[in-house]
């Protein structure tokens, strides 16, 4: 059975979604850069090993990356999953786990990389917003896209309302992407784009607001 390590910094809602999905793998460890991350409690409640690699205790970003990699490698994972992990990882770290490092980002990349995505989408007047699961590369929020989920955005939305709508779809998209990886269905072509064996291609379109009937 394949092994995964999950990296978190906070509440761990995507960790909970991965656990609920009953994926065909062993979650070997949950690692956080914050000792107070609530998701660590969730992991312990499920009998999963936990560890804290505190970025503030390291002399440099490179030292943190090295300490984090050492802790990850102790668990010999096939896949490393960033689930609300709020640290930028350096080039050497990303290369170390090339092709087996996933992240979920709360926007429809390449739009709105970085922070405050829901606020920026509303300020830009977007009618569609969403989330993206992608392979991690050295460029921030710019890796090959695996799956995206879109939700409507309304002019009178609050940032929190839109965030909640997106988060619900994160909990669907992320377990699906991890399952595809575990099943060996994901690959990267020569251009660095994701190929999915047996991909389903639904027709139609989502229009927001809906046209008059």
**Distance (Å, whole) CA 196 – CA 179:** 12
Active site residue 105: yes
Q: Among residues 46, 55, 105, 118, which one is catalytic?
A: 105
Within 10 Å of residue 180's Cβ, how many Cβ atoms?
19
Strands of 2-8's sheet, edge to edge?
49-52, 25-32, 2-8, 79-82, 101-105, 128-135, 145-152
d(CA 29, CA 52): 11
Q: How far apart are CA 166 and CA 14, in angstroms?
A: 12
User: Distance (Å, rounded) from C-alpha 96 to C-alpha 62?
Assistant: 13
* Catalytic machinery residues: 105
């Amino acid at each position: 059975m394949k092994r995964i390590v999950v990296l978190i910094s906070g509440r761990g809602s995507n960790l909970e979604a991965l656990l609920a999905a009953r994926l065909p793998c062993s979650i070997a460890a949950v690692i956080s850069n914050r000792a107070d991350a609530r998701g660590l409690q969730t992991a312990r409640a499920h009998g999963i090993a936990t560890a804290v690699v505190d970025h503030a205790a390291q002399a440099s970003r490179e030292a943190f990356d090295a300490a984090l990699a050492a802790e990850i490698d102790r668990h010999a994972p096939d896949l490393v999953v960033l689930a609300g992990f709020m640290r930028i990882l350096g080039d050497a770290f990303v290369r170390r786990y090339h092709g087996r490092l996933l992240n979920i980002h709360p926007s429809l990349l390449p739009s709105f990389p970085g922070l405050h995505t829901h606020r920026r989408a509303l300020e830009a007047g977007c009618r569609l917003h969403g989330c993206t699961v992608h392979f991690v590369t050295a460029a921030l929020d710019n890796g090959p896209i695996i799956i995206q989920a879109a939700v409507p955005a309304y002019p009178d939305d609050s940032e929190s309302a839109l965030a909640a709508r997106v988060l619900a779809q994160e909990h669907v998209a992320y377990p699906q992407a991890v399952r595809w990886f575990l099943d060996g269905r994901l690959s990267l072509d020569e251009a660095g784009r994701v190929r999915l064996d047996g991909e389903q291609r639904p027709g139609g379109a989502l229009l927001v607001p809906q046209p008059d009937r």
